[in-house]
Structure 1
Amino acid sequence: MDLSGVAAILALAGVPVSVLIARWQMRAMLAQAEISHRATLEAAQLTQQGALEAVRAQSERERHRWLTEARRASYRLFQHSLSEFRRTIMSDEVDMVRLSEAYYGVHDTGHEIAEVGPDNVTGLASRLTTECELLRHDVALGHLASRQEREDLWNGLVAPLRKHLDEAIYDALAGD
């Protein structure tokens, strides 16, 4: 074989070697791309988790703020309704229509408190509503004819509950 034949054989052998080298380089590049892809995917997942946690935290803060505002408004309305009921029942001549309206104001705002809680405030509001209902019935039946009788009953039954309610409301709002 002459020199051109040896060169031809080496050239033919060189083609498969270059193909093998190119294939090996392609596999290495694909492996590197896979590693890069996985790292990018992990980083994206961590970023997504961080964003979701931030949104959850913000949502919880907003919910807490809304709940605190709703509680304050409900408590204020309930206290106002109790005051209106007391003014009505303590008048010299009790107007039963006004007394019923005042009672239903207490009743309705008591339900608002039940929606925002907490349980100890809801329980006290419910007990106060029941006491107001009993007072209204006693007045309607003529059992509490004098203002002094109504005032004594209010001071003995409702006023202590109202004091406990004030303390429970303070604790509930202080905890918020």
Structure 2
Amino acid sequence: MDLQGVGAIAAAAVAAVSVPAAIVVGRWQLRAALRAAEEAGRAGLAQAEATYRAALDAVRAEASHTQTQWRRGIQREAFVSHLLAARKAAETAKRMNESYVNKTVSIEETERLRVELWSARTAVRNTSLIVSLEAPGELATASERIDYWTGELVASLDYQVEMFEAERKVRLRADQEAQDGDAHRPNGNLVTKLVLLRSAVEEHAPAGGQPFEVAQISPEIEAARNAVQDAMNAVVLELTERVALEELQCNLGGVMREAREAEEELQAWEEDFLRLAREALDGSAHT
């Protein structure tokens, strides 16, 4: 065989060995590439998952903060509404009382103010219930006391107006009797007896006290009270008017004292409520 033939055979042998080797190397390279791609994919998934969790945590934190702020706003509105309702009821009661006692309003205007007053009183009770739902505990207790003392103040001042209102009606009827020339003048007689009862109470009884208690203090007061009751029987009066007329003469000081005590208690509880409300709102702002 010549050299050229030997060279051809050698070249064929080398080629036969090189093909499987190339295949093996190719497989190794493919596996390495797949493994690298798989690791890159895992790393990408981990990064994506971390990014997603971070975004989710941020959304949750923002939602929690938003909810806290929303709840704080609801509580603040409830607290403010309650205090404003109590202030409005108290101011309306005092305005009605002072206006009527000073005779700057008519009976009809008094009735309009009374409707406004009891509407304000109802608002205090309603807002107190809302506070109890939004902030139980000390705040709810303070709110209940505000509701109670507002009711006491309103009732006391309104009752003072009822007493003066009853007397004013009797005096108006007495004036009409005088204009008409009524010889009997039962309302005029009642006015006189009421004045005598008040004089007897001022002279013989300490300030305050229920009519039936005051009447037992001295024979003079008892006699004056009996005279008032006889005069009342001669005119047309409702039971509430009879009671109001007697108490106006015997216990005006006591009713006025009750109003002052109720106002002092109300102011004290309002200050306590305001302090507790600020603490609650400041605490929720830092959560």
- TM-score norm. by structure 1 comes to 0.77
When structure 1 is superposed on structure 2, of 161-170 and 147-156 the one drifting more is 147-156
> In 2, distance between residues paired with 1:169 and 1:29?
67
Q: Which residue of 2 aligns with 1:66?
A: 70
1: distance between equivalents of 2:59 and 2:133? Answer: 25
Instruction: Find the partner of 2:274 among 160, 166, 174.
Output: 166
Deviates more, 1:44-53 or 1:112-121: 112-121
Query: Structure 1 133/13 Cα, relative in aligned 2: closer, same or farther at 3 Å?
Result: farther
- Counterparts of 1:67 and 1:151, CA distance in 2: 37
Q: How far 1:46 moved relative to its partner?
A: 1.6
Question: How far off is 1:149 after superposition?
Answer: 4.4
Q: Deviations over 1:32-87 (max 9, x none)?
A: 11111111111112211222222223223333333333333222211110012212
Q: Which residue of 1 aligns with 2:256?
A: 148
Q: Is contact 1:128-1:158 (8 Å) kept?
A: yes
Q: How has the CA–CA distance of structure 1 residues 64 and 153 changed in structure 2, closer, same or farther, with 3 Å as cutoff?
A: same
Q: Is the 8 Å Cα contact of residues 75 and 134 (structure 2) preserved in structure 1? A: yes
Whole-Å separation in 1 of the counterparts to 2:41 and 2:9: 48
- Rounded to whole Å, the distance in 2 between the matches of 1:69 and 1:56 is 20
Is 2:22 aligned against 1:4? no
Give the stretch that moved more between structures: 129-138 or 72-81. 129-138
Cα distance in 1 for partners of 2:16, 2:120 equals 106
- The question of 1:108 aligning with 2:126 is answered yes
What count of residue pairs does the alignment treat as equivalent? 176
Q: CA deviation at 1:104?
A: 1.9
Question: Which structure 1 residue ranges, 5 or more long, are not aligned?
Answer: none
Match of 2:21 in 1: 17
Contact 1:89/1:150 (<8 A) preserved:
no
Report what 1:122 is aligned to: 140
Q: State the Cα distance separating 1:30 from its structure 2 match.
A: 0.7
2:149, 2:263 within 8 Å by CA — same for their partners in 1? no
Q: Who wins on radius of gyration, i.e. which is larger?
A: 2
Within 2, Cα distance between the matches of 1:33 and 1:123?
67
- Aligned CA distance change for structure 1 residues 28 and 118 (closer, same or farther; 3 Å): farther
Distance in 1 between residues matched to 2:25 and 2:153, nearest whole Å: 99
Asked if 1:98 is matched to 2:116, the reply is yes
Contact 1:118 1:172 in 2 (8 A): no
